[in-house]
Chain A
Amino acid sequence: EPEVTQTPSHQVTQMGQEVILRCVPISNHLYFYWYRQILGQKVEFLVSFYNNEISEKSEIFDDQFSVERPDGSNFTLKIRSTKLEDSAMYFCASGRGNLAKNIQYFGAGTRLSVL
Chain B
Amino acid sequence: AQSVTQPDIHITVSEGASLELRCNYSYGATPYLFWYVQSPGQGLQLLLKYFSGDTLVQGIKGFEAEFKRSQSSFNLRKPSVHWSDAAEYFCAVGANQAGTALIFGKGTTLSVSS
Question: Are B100 and A55 in contact (CB-based, < 8 A)?
Answer: yes
**4 smallest A-B Cβ distances: which pairs?**
A45-B101, A55-B99, A106-B44, A43-B104
Question: Are A108 and B99 in contact (CB-based, < 8 A)?
Answer: no
Q: Known contacts A43-B90, A101-B32, A101-B51; is A4 also within 8 Å of B100 by CB? A: no
Is the CB of A18 closer than 8 A to any CB of chain B? Answer: no
A106 to chain B, nearest CB (A): 4
Is the CB of A115 closer than 8 A to any CB of chain B? Answer: no
Chain A interface (Cβ < 8 Å from any Cβ of B): 3-4, 6, 30-31, 33, 35, 41-45, 48, 50, 55-56, 58, 91, 93, 95-98, 100-109
Task: Among A35, A41, A97, point to the contact of B106 (Cβ < 8 A).
Answer: A41
Query: Which of B43, B100, B104 has most A Cβ within 10 Å?
Result: B43
Question: Are A42 and B105 in contact (CB-based, < 8 A)?
Answer: yes
Question: Are B98 and A102 in contact (CB-based, < 8 A)?
Answer: yes
The distance in angstroms between the C-alpha atoms of A31 and B101, with both chains bound, is 11
The 30 listed contacts between A and B (C-beta, < 8 Å) are A6-B43, A31-B98, A35-B102, A35-B104, A41-B106, A42-B105, A42-B106, A43-B104, A43-B107, A48-B99, A48-B100, A50-B99, A55-B99, A56-B99, A56-B100, A56-B101, A91-B43, A91-B44, A95-B98, A96-B98, A101-B32, A102-B96, A102-B97, A102-B99, A102-B102, A103-B34, A103-B46, A103-B49, A108-B43, A109-B43
